[in-house]
Structures are given as C-alpha cells and as structure tokens.
Structure 1
C-alpha cells in the first residue's frame, strides 16, 4: 500500500526536475562529462524526469503526468525563456513516447517498463531538444546526453529499486507471538 503523499511527491519531483534541467542548461550550457563526451548541464535532471513521469503515472494517472509537463514548461518559460519551446516540444514528445512504451509494458513488471521507456524517451528527448535549442547534434553531444539520461538517471536508479525490493523481500519475517 502506498502512502497518500507518494503521488503528490512524485508530481512535485517531476515538475522540479523539468524546471531544474532547463535552468541548469540555460545557466551553464554544455559541460564535459569525460571520454570526449559533452552534455547539457541539465541532462541528469532531465533524465530523472523519465522515471519521475513513470512514478506520477503509477500514483496519479496519465492526466497528472501531462499536467506536470505543462507546469514544468510554464516554470521553464519563467526561468529560462530561451529554452521554453525546445523544452516543451522535447518533453511532450519524449514523455508521450515514454508513456506509449511504459503503459503496455507495465503489466510485465515495473523494471522492464521503466528501462525500456527510459531508453526510448531519452533518445527522443535528446535528439529533439538539442536540435530545437540550437545545440550541436554530434556523436559527442548525443552520447553525453544518453550516458547521463540512460546510465545515471535511468539504469542506476532502476537497479537500486530492484536491489532494495529484493533485500526487503529476502529479510526474515518476524512473527508476533501472543
């Protein structure tokens, strides 16, 4: 059973991640991430939106996920107006793609759905955002974005959740004796 605050917390995190990604990118632009790769400064926050959107859908439903995009876009327009259109278009298409993959796969397990939708959403978001925001679309920038979004913001959190769930289920259950 979920705590009643789980849905609102997921929505708040989702909206915050959208706004943070755009603010960081507007403020710092492209940053090196090693191995000759570069990424927008907001990539890690943008990657977090992919899992946060899944959590919003699971706790509050698809309508709230779309509402989160709208609120995040409004915050972006207020804090990073130059990125508002690129962000809105990329998030809307990427999140719609993410939802289109996540929703049918969710019945086969959360981890499978979150990983598959995160990879597809990250690819769509990366290509469209870089292009619309006027950043170079190169192997170095796309690679850097995908490392941040897929590896650090999707794969590692999903593995962490799986590990915690397995350990929690593996713990011996204590019985209360009367």
Structure 2
C-alpha cells in the first residue's frame, strides 16, 4: 500500500471510531431546523467520503479491512454500537462500491456525490434501527442532512472549486479576491 492509501485508511478508521464514540458520548443532538441527529453523524458522513479515497488509493479490499479495524476499535470504546455500526457500514459500503466504482471513470466528484448519497441512506436507516435510536422524520432528516450536505456535498464542491482555480478557469476576481 502506498502512503496516500495508508493515510486514507487511517483517516477512514478514525472517522468510524469517532462517529461511534461521539454517538455513545452525546447520543442524539439537535441540528437546527427541527432536526436531530446522532452526535457522530458528521464523522460517519466523512467516513463515507473517505471510503472512496481508500478505494482509489489502496483498493476495495482495504475498505473492508478498515471497517474491521473500525469495528474492533469501536468495540473497545463503544461496545453497544459496535454491531450496529459494523452492519450499517458494511451494507452502506457494499452499496457505495456498487455506485462509486462504475461512475469513477466519469469523474471523481460525480462518483463521490452519488455514492455518498446512496451510502448515507442505507447507513442512516440500518444504524438507527440496529442501535435502538428512534426512526423519525427528525432523526432521519438530521442524519441525511449531516451526512450528505456537510460530509459529501460540501467537500465535493470544495474539491471542484480548487480544481477549477488550479486550471485557471476561475479568476481571483470572480472569487472576490
């Protein structure tokens, strides 16, 4: 495995463990606009995006190794969530792989956004159900907003803008500089 793969894998495992630790520590938290989410939602969303980096830099088999490592570490810090998290991540990652891999050839942003949305939906419902959290409009909505907007759409948008600036397609003047 190359250095980028090792960094992506380490960040992926860290995001999984952080999501579960935050959820164990703080439970459900308000997110505004009448929505609520588990405290680890943003870290879980980051994990969904980092999964794509692991696949790109290290290969799909390392994604599942990362889930295993995240499960083992979660069992140490948040045993109550280890099973729910592992099942949710495995199912979400299987769907994520099915979406990301064929779209990747058409561009990273499209693939990451589509797979992040698909993975977020599966991860949300499976995790909430298995972890014993309520499945309500507020919790599902909060989870999906947190995972898709803040941990998928925003990073993809930032990467696209940076790429355009590097290519010279966006002037400093148009960015308000």
For Structure 1 versus Structure 2, the TM-score category normalised by the shorter chain is over 0.9
Match for residue 62 of structure 1 among 40, 60, 65: 60
TM-score normalised to structure 1 length: 0.93
Deviation at 1:6, TM superposition (A): 1.4
Q: Secondary structure, in 3 states, of the residue corresponding to 2:29?
A: strand
Q: TM-score, normalised by structure 2?
A: 0.93
Structure 1, unpaired ranges of 5+ = 172-178
Residue among 148, 151, 157 paired with 2:146: 148
Cα distance in 1, alignment partners of residues 45 and 82 from structure 2: 17
Which has the larger Rg? 1
Using the alignment, how far apart are the partners of 1:51 and 1:125 within structure 2?
A: 13
The residue that corresponds to 1:29 in the other structure is 27
**Any gaps of 5 or more consecutive residues in structure 2?**
170-177
SS in structure 2 opposite 1:39? strand
User: Which runs of structure 2 are paired with 1:115-130 in the superposition (5 Å)?
Assistant: 115-130=113-128
Residue aligning to 2:101: 103
- 1:33-112 mapped onto 2 (5 Å cutoff): 33-112=31-110
Once residues 111 and 61 of structure 2 are traced to their aligned partners in structure 1, the CA distance between those partners, rounded to angstroms, is 19
Answer yes or no: is 1:137 the counterpart of 2:131: no
Q: Deviations over 1:95-144 (max 9, x none)?
A: 11101100011011101100000000000000000000000000000000
- Name the count of aligned residue pairs: 168
Hey, what's the Cα distance between the residues in 2 that align with 1:136 and 1:15? 26
Distance, in Å, in 2 between the alignment partners of 1:170 and 1:9 is 29
Runs of 4+ in 1 over 6 A off after TM superposition: none
When the two chains are superposed, the root-mean-square deviation of aligned CA atoms in Å is 0.8
- Give the 3-state SS of the residue equivalent to 1:38 in structure 2: strand
